[in-house]
Structure 1
Amino acid sequence: MSPSPTERTSTSPGNGRTAPPGCGDPARPALAWERARDLARDSAGPPLPAVTRDLPDALGHALAAPLRALTDLPPFDTSAMDGWAVAGPGPWRPRDDGVLAGEEPGPLGPGTAVRIATGAPVPAGASAVLRREHGEIEEGTGLLLDRSEGQIAPGRDVRPRGQECRADDVLLPVGTTVTARVLGLAAAAGYDRLAVHRRPVVELLVLGDELLESGVPRHGRVRDALGPLLAPWLRGCGAEVTGRRRVPDDLALLRAAVWDSTADVVVTTGSTAAGPVDFLHAALAELGARLLVDSVAVRPGHPMLLAELPPAADGRPRHLVGLPGNPLAAVAGTVTLAVPLLRGLGGHRDPEPPRTVAAAALPRHPRDTRLLPVRRTEQGAEPLPFDGPAMLRGLACADGLAVVPPGGVAAGATVEVIDLPPDG
């Protein structure tokens, strides 16, 4: 590992409140937005190691092995309706007993029938299920008659064994995100535990002396909006967020906070530009970090960065994602750099980018990609007001962020819309 902060010579004055020269490089060209996203994903390298989790604890992880069926589904022929299991053509002599779900019925002889509930195993010898509303017991004879039109076809209203899958069929591939729906399928297929990739551990460092933790903005200070917003979003992206720390505008304190973090990914807010108290570039330089992305041609959010930190004591690679301090700009940085990195580390497959029609012309930036809050309507993606870098009002009403290229998007044209990270 690189020398500790105390072993390095600080390039700032004693109180650490003056930005050293070389903090950011305004002459360095910003990376294209698509390239920055690809670099973030590629920098993750191989996914984190596989672990085994009980089904509830696997939620949000990515499968580290294919989900193979441990049994046929259904595991036996089952009734699709309430009614009677019947053997051969009618009329039938009904038995006195019945078959409920969870029971093992005895065989059914030719010309006989037995009452059966939805989901119950179909007795051996049964040819079909006669729906309750189609069956009638004839007075006098006690025979079961079919009052539907035509002959009851063999296999009618029976879910045959293996209709959904056979044992050892691949149900889901490696890299599938474990959702509640996946948990249900895994349980149905016989699983108690799943092999999944470890979730990347993230620590959130919120930088800035101007931030308040409670109350209304006052005395030139503003509320921290990013701490409450980003922590659940990062969890929703598959991260395990272990902490959120406030760090004052001080080079030595920032450098120490990054150095001391044991997280796989450190996410910072603010200090990514070249202002008088923007110390992140200097702190990374002193720690021996390697900048992978330093400014992206996207609005809002262009002064974002991605760095490879010195490895942890156990040799684990570590990364830092530097997000701008303005709220919507930080959201742009999250979907550009943090989300691809976290998905790569967690072993998640990348879905096809969703595209939709623009309900109206989407305003452009003359040179850069623009990420614009939109709402999905019947007419398509509709741009929302209050889309400035420091605003969250439009985002709060948005379904996603439209990716608007420098040329803009005309009404009726298709546009990529990034889904917002789910709340963790």
Structure 2
Amino acid sequence: MTAVPMSGCTEVGTFRADAERDASAGPPSEAGTFRAGGAEPVGAPGPSSGRPARRAEAVDWGRARCLARDVPPLAVVSRPLGEALGPALARPLAALTDLPPFDSSAMDGWAVAGAGPWRLRGRGVLAGAQPPPLGDGDAVPIATGARLPSGAGAVLRREHGEVDSRNGMLFDRTVGPGPLAPGRDIRPRGQESRAGDVLLAAGTSVTPAVLGLAAAAGYDRLAVHRRPVVELLVLGDELLESGLPRDGRVRDALGPLLPHWLSGQGGADVTGRRLVSDAFRPLYEALRDATADVVVTTGSTAAGPVDFLHEALARLGARLLVDSVAVRPGHPMLLAELPPRADGRPRRLVGLPGNPLAAVAGAVTLAVPLLRRLGGHPDAEPIRTPCAAALPGHPKDTRLLPVRRVGGEVAPLPFDGPAMLRGLAVADGLAVVPPGGAAAGGVVEVLPVPLPGPCPAP
């Protein structure tokens, strides 16, 4: 699959770490050097942390998604049907046989040859049997799905036939004009497809229905793209994993939320999820040692006193592609290329803000497009929906607003602040509201929220 054209998508910046410093010493005093579009390094110290202030220009929301998609799909693997659910087809699915592969009965009844009444022959044809041919004027009982005997021209439904057991004759008692029509209640060979017909395009997500179609078409295995593997790092000393909020600490909402979102919308396998403390070294070591295709972090994307993500990326020599997006909530999000693994496979990082709704905004902006492209899934057609009421916007930036469908239109929901999840919990989607807002009756794109599904691996 070809990556999306990069019209308007250019590199935002590159971190260059000072190789002379020892990572064990903690964060560098200059936090590495950040260059954006060839600009000079930023050296003015920040007011709260003593680290240099960053002046990264926010990337347009659509362009940020374009940058996230600029990756090739992961390798093609062969999976047995029982293990192929979820990934995208790497090649078109062509029928290996005619469907149906032979003429068969669509009903329980009798296969008949010629005009009635008919002489009853045989004990009946069951599904899976190879029936003997029928002569003109003969009939044989047949089950739904059974192969039609050669010579048979129609199937008389059981409720329309009457058997004279004394004479061994079958009569048509169908109410209506004329004799039984040729081809009646027969599923002809090749009715659904012929051998070689393309049933599904490459990039189609393998659903239960796709597995059934592939099996019917003769497949034992499918060529699919490998699902991207994600490791989730939730940053913050203030986060609790159980119990009530207490002593200035709050519950971690993103640890339970994001794996399902990344799996359901991005098609990823979330194989690791852990809390990381607000210190440079634990974060640096977690990023250095991560082996997943994509590392997703929450928090530490801004320039607060314990926001060490930029410093850690700089020390690792990461290449920064997006550093802030013109979207609310969630604008301090980032996308970076980490140094490759020992086997040469690339690694990428999506940095999400720590506020829950802002993190979801970052996930749909950067993580989901990246993961879908890695998994070989094509871009979904935008869902455009009229507005039942005015949708408030940001003066300059795109806004992602939880909405609910009302009779084919969408209406805004309350509790839509960056730290809130109450509105999102009852939302049908996230409306992409342009700068300035959208008027009642206007049309906006709506991003879907994940449907209930199996729990990802912890």
State the one-letter code of the partner of 2:111: A
Residue deviations 1:370-400 (CA, integer Å, cap 9, x gap): 1111222324222222111111111111121
Secondary structure in 1 matching 2:69: helix
Secondary structure in 2 matching 1:296: coil
The answer to whether the 8 Å contact 1:12/1:251 transfers is: no
In the TM superposition, residue 288 of structure 1 has moved relative to its aligned partner by: 0.9
Describe the shift of the 1:117–1:19 C-alpha distance in structure 2 as closer, same or farther (beyond 3 A).
Answer: farther
Secondary structure in 1 matching 2:121: strand
The answer to whether the 8 Å contact 1:266/1:320 transfers is: yes
The answer to whether the 8 Å contact 1:19/1:279 transfers is: no
1:171 has 2:192 as partner: no
State the one-letter code of the partner of 1:346: G
**Who is 1:345 aligned against?**
374
Kindly report the root-mean-square deviation, in angstroms, between the aligned alpha carbons of the 2 structures. 2.0
State the one-letter code of the partner of 2:223: A
Q: Which stretch of structure 1 is more off in the superposition, 119-128 or 227-236?
A: 227-236
The answer to whether the 8 Å contact 2:23/2:315 transfers is: no
The answer to whether the 8 Å contact 1:47/1:345 transfers is: yes
**Who is 2:262 aligned against?**
234
- Between the two proteins, the alignment pairs up a number of residues equal to 416
Secondary structure in 2 matching 1:307: strand
The separation in 1 between residues aligned to 2:172 and 2:22, in whole angstroms, is: 88
TM-score, structure 2 normalization: 0.87
State the one-letter code of the partner of 1:222: V
Residue deviations 1:229-281 (CA, integer Å, cap 9, x gap): 11122222221222112110001111111011011111000011111111111
In the TM superposition, residue 19 of structure 1 has moved relative to its aligned partner by: 4.0
Secondary structure in 2 matching 1:206: strand
1:28 has 2:72 as partner: no
1:123 has 2:153 as partner: no
1:306 has 2:335 as partner: yes
The answer to whether the 8 Å contact 2:276/2:282 transfers is: yes
The answer to whether the 8 Å contact 2:330/2:359 transfers is: yes
The answer to whether the 8 Å contact 1:20/1:282 transfers is: no
State the one-letter code of the partner of 2:292: A
**Who is 1:421 aligned against?**
450
Moved over 3 A (4+): 2-13, 138-142, 421-424
**Who is 1:401 aligned against?**
430
**Who is 1:370 aligned against?**
399
The separation in 2 between residues aligned to 1:419 and 1:282, in whole angstroms, is: 34
**Who is 2:190 aligned against?**
162
Residue deviations 1:276-307 (CA, integer Å, cap 9, x gap): 11111111111111110111111111111001
**Who is 1:266 aligned against?**
295
In the TM superposition, residue 359 of structure 1 has moved relative to its aligned partner by: 2.1
Mark the runs of 5 or more structure 2 residues left unpaired by the alignment.
1-16, 30-47
The separation in 1 between residues aligned to 2:165 and 2:256, in whole angstroms, is: 71
TM-score, structure 1 normalization: 0.93
The separation in 2 between residues aligned to 1:406 and 1:312, in whole angstroms, is: 40
Residue deviations 1:299-333 (CA, integer Å, cap 9, x gap): 11111100111111111111100000011111111
The separation in 2 between residues aligned to 1:421 and 1:370, in whole angstroms, is: 19
**Who is 1:335 aligned against?**
364
The answer to whether the 8 Å contact 1:58/1:178 transfers is: yes
**Who is 1:51 aligned against?**
77
The separation in 2 between residues aligned to 1:288 and 1:407, in whole angstroms, is: 38
The separation in 2 between residues aligned to 1:6 and 1:101, in whole angstroms, is: 73
**Who is 1:187 aligned against?**
215
In the TM superposition, residue 68 of structure 1 has moved relative to its aligned partner by: 1.5
The answer to whether the 8 Å contact 2:402/2:413 transfers is: yes
Secondary structure in 2 matching 1:266: strand
Describe the shift of the 1:411–1:142 C-alpha distance in structure 2 as closer, same or farther (beyond 3 A).
Answer: farther
**Who is 2:235 aligned against?**
207
Secondary structure in 2 matching 1:22: coil
The answer to whether the 8 Å contact 2:24/2:281 transfers is: no
**Who is 1:110 aligned against?**
136
In the TM superposition, residue 137 of structure 1 has moved relative to its aligned partner by: 2.3
Secondary structure in 1 matching 2:295: strand
Secondary structure in 2 matching 1:99: coil
The answer to whether the 8 Å contact 1:11/1:20 transfers is: no
The separation in 2 between residues aligned to 1:124 and 1:264, in whole angstroms, is: 56
Residue 127 of structure 2: which of 86, 101, 117 is its match?
Answer: 101
The answer to whether the 8 Å contact 2:95/2:197 transfers is: yes
State the identity %: 72
Residue deviations 1:132-176 (CA, integer Å, cap 9, x gap): 222222576543222221222211111111111111211111111
